[in-house]
Structure 1
Amino acid sequence: MSGLDFRAVPVTVAGRLPAIPSLGSPAILVDLEYADPISTDAAPIAGQVWLSADAPPDVTRRLAAHGLTVTRDQAAAQVASRLDRQGAAVALGYAALVAVLVVLLAAGVLVLTAAAGRDRQAEDLAALRAQGLSRGEVRRAALWAYPVLVAAAIPAGLAIALAGWAATGWALPLAGVDPAPLPRPSWPGVISLALAGLALLAVLGGTALLTGRRTLRRVR
């Protein structure tokens, strides 16, 4: 690598990264403590100093006392706020909105399906009730017919979503059209899938229970 005096310096690679943040690839990360002593004829050079969260508040003054001129300081929160306003992050918000609309559409289809078959289902349950079927059995059949279908459909829907992600997720510009060469999540997280499944179960399961109650009111 090239030292602070621009002379070639032999190094031992301690580890490899896909890219160095804000520098991309190829780039080299070396501790300033090691880079400074081996530079015998250093010229002015621009560089970056990375600070951890527990850095003292007067760190810029301390750096200046050691001969470093600070031209700009930037916090990780500022970078995150700027990235949140870019197109890729905004597009993810629209994707979440589409997901909510799809869930509401599925709930509406469930209501319409139950309403279309409610009269026939109520007649069938009333006939079975007249033939001796207990009230408890009628109640379970009316209330839990659609919730059981919902419970079976949610895992199938998540599996189909994962299959669709496997087919198209690699092409989605989650980090912009020209993303930095940094590793990004390639699959939805387990927690995200669990939260999505619970949300679907709450909305569609609740809708199914309400439609079942309406059917039960028609059974004499």
Structure 2
Amino acid sequence: MKQRIVVLTGAGISAESGINTFRDADGLWEGHDVAKVASPFGFAKNPALVLDFYNQRRKQLLEVMPNKAHKALAQLEEKFDVTIITQNVDDLHERAGSSLVLHLHGELLKVRSTGDPNLILDWKKDLNLGDNCKNGYQLRPHIVWFGEEVPLLEEAVYLTQNADILLIIGTSLRVYPAAGLVNYVKNGAPIYFIDPKPNVKEVDYKNLTILPQTATEAVPIVVSDLVGQAR
């Protein structure tokens, strides 16, 4: 039986493909107050602004490509049972070849009905006011906004609990609830933390290896080592 690897990825891995990070230090996202473009309140107050904001993000996503880190993670599937749990809303992992990706915070290339959260559609064009689902409800970005539940969190916890190896890439472990997943890793499971500015220390967790490098620098090396060990 193949060992199970869970990979937790954040904005850092996508930033190297040219996708701007979720928000800057001043609390703005692409110059917008996060509360105005990433909350149910913001959508209710100015839906046109929110839809335009995500239309711009969607266009940007369609112009970028997976990088070496995304592609290296896909290679892990040659020797391991791999699940990627990502906080990112892009599809770069899938485009790189990863077959099992859990999007904790939703997916930019999907929309859903405001009247039925289970009615989800693939969507690559602009989303405008008046674009309704088959039941007549306005469609909205399929994104988990601030103040909303994270529906896939329980599945992410289960996967992490059963991982033999955990890779954490490009996330500060400050965005909850995703940041809490590391606390569910079973005793003895190796943890690799890849980030150029790590905010953890190796004494913080058992079997933790910190690689203070970018994703494109460190991920191919770690993947090569893991694949080599599995032979």
TM class by shorter chain equals under 0.3
Larger radius of gyration: 1
**Which structure's relative contact order is higher, taking Cα pairs within 8 Å and 6+ residues apart?**
1
Q: Higher helix fraction: Structure 1 or Structure 2?
A: 1
Q: Higher strand fraction: Structure 1 or Structure 2?
A: 2
